[in-house]
């Protein structure tokens, strides 16, 4: 007699949107067709614990273009495909991304997936801190367990990630607005940039929206509040270009704008790591 337990039931239902909470994820953890990715960066990488079964989406490493001078820029489609397959991700999977800081770098992984043509992805609201606060199980943050290679294929979408020339054009377009997710002090130029060699200040015509302003207690604010925030800064402009220090927290703004029901969103991939370099690109302070 075979007394082995039955396999978990398939993942029920579609994603409720680009943001899921712990109540949605916890009962689905381990189900076939669900992949959880830890997209923590910097000091939050290797924080010691993970959601059980989570695999590392290394934005500081293989999921950045290591051939260029800028941090965190998108790798080629072929490289992205290779690394996603190495994580065991199939084209039919549902992916939930999170980070150990809360909602900080998880949205970068979500936006990269969107830019590579994959829509079955969502960010875990509150990230690992919310998971731990809910008393849910945690696993040792050691190396990933071996997985069967996936069949993910990147299909890049133009316009979701843009360069400095597109940003310069948006700054002169009355139908567009550039929103900068850095702190008010960095935006105004009263605080130095953390990366050596960058100029202080902001792009002329850009509007400051620190990414923390669209969160409350480490989670995204409700959609109605997000709509009010973006409306106050962008009005009825049809296109939003989102920037930050190195293309990471700009994706928090992209997530907030998506939750607010906005479309026509682009993230400046190089962000201030590129614009702030000594060059002819204009910078103002104040």
Judge whether 153 lies within some domain.
no
- Selection from 149, 79, 77 nearest residue 118 by Cα: 77
Q: Are 150 and 158 in contact (CB under 8 A)?
A: no
Judge whether 281 lies within some domain.
no
Same domain, 117 and 189: no
Same domain, 102 and 174: no
Residue 1 has a pLDDT of 46
- Structural domain ending residue among the three candidates 91, 109, 140: 140
Judge whether 243 lies within some domain.
yes
CATH number at residue 106: 3.40.250.10
- Average pLDDT per consecutive 10 residues, the chain (286 residues; last block may be shorter): 55 82 96 96 83 96 94 97 98 97 98 98 98 96 89 98 98 98 98 96 98 98 98 95 98 98 97 98 98
Q: What is the pTM of this model?
A: 0.95
Same domain, 36 and 127: yes
Residue 144 has a pLDDT of 83
Number of residues written out for the chain: 286
Contacts of 210 (CB under 8 A, 6+ apart): 181, 182, 183, 184, 187
**Concatenated DSSP letters of 181-232:** -S-HHHHHTSS--SSTTPPPSB-TT-EE--GGGGEETTEEPPHHHHHHHHHH
Residue 14 has a pLDDT of 82
Same domain, 267 and 196: yes
- Structural domain ending residue among the three candidates 140, 172, 206: 140
Same domain, 125 and 28: yes
- Selection from 228, 227, 252, 259 nearest residue 16 by Cα: 259
CA–CA separation, 280 and 176 (whole Å)? 22
- Selection from 192, 170, 172 nearest residue 183 by Cα: 192
Same domain, 41 and 77: yes
Same domain, 131 and 170: no
Active-site amino acid positions:
244
Judge whether 11 lies within some domain.
no
Same domain, 136 and 181: no
Residue 163 has a pLDDT of 98
- Selection from 55, 280, 45, 249 nearest residue 164 by Cα: 280
In the numeric block, the tokens 């993970």 are attached to 50
Pairing of strands 161-162, 265-268: parallel
Judge whether 79 lies within some domain.
yes
Query: Residue 135 belongs to what domain range?
Result: 19-140
**Concatenated DSSP letters of 75-144:** PPHHHHHHHHHHTT--TT-EEEEEBTTBSSSHHHHHHHHHHTT--SEEEETTHHHHHHHTT---EE--SP
Same domain, 234 and 172: yes
Same domain, 128 and 209: no
In the numeric block, the tokens 């239902």 are attached to 13
Same domain, 129 and 40: yes
CA–CA separation, 82 and 93 (whole Å)? 16
Same domain, 168 and 136: no
Count: domains in the chain: 2
Judge whether 57 lies within some domain.
yes
Judge whether 165 lies within some domain.
yes
CA–CA separation, 82 and 150 (whole Å)? 9
- Structural domain ending residue among the three candidates 109, 140, 171: 140
Tokens of 137: 């199980």
Residue 6 has a pLDDT of 56
């Amino acid at each position: 007699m075979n007394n082995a337990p039955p396999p978990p039931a398939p993942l029920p239902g579609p994603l409720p949107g680009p943001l899921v909470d712990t109540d949605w994820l916890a009962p689905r953890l381990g189900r076939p067709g669900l992949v959880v990715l830890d997209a923590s960066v910097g000091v939050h990488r290797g924080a010691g614990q993970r959601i059980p079964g989570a695999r590392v989406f290394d934005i500081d490493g293989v999921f950045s273009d290591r051939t260029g001078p800028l941090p965190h820029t998108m790798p080629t489609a072929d490289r992205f495909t290779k690394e996603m397959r190495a994580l065991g991700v199939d084209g039919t999977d549902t992916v939930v991304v999170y980070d150990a800081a809360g909602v900080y770098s998880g949205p970068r992984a979500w936006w990269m997936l969107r830019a590579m043509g994959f829509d079955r992805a969502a960010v875990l609201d509150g990230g690992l801190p919310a998971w731990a606060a809910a008393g849910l199980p945690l696993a040792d943050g050691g190396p990933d367990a071996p997985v069967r290679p996936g069949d993910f294929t990147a299909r890049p979408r133009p316009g979701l990630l843009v360069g400095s020339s597109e940003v310069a054009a948006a700054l002169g377009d009355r139908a567009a607005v550039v929103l900068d997710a850095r702190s008010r002090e960095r935006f105004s130029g009263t605080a130095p940039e953390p990366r050596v060699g960058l100029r202080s200040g902001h792009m002329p015509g850009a509007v400051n929206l620190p990414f923390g302003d669209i969160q409350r207690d480490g989670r995204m604010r409700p959609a109605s509040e997000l709509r009010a925030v973006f409306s106050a800064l962008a009005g009825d402009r049809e296109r939003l270009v989102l920037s930050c220090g190195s293309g990471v927290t700009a994706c928090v703004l992209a997530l907030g704008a998506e939750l607010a029901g906005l479309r026509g969103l682009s993230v400046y991939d190089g962000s201030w790591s590129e614009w702030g370099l000594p060059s002819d690109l204009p910078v103002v302070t104040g």
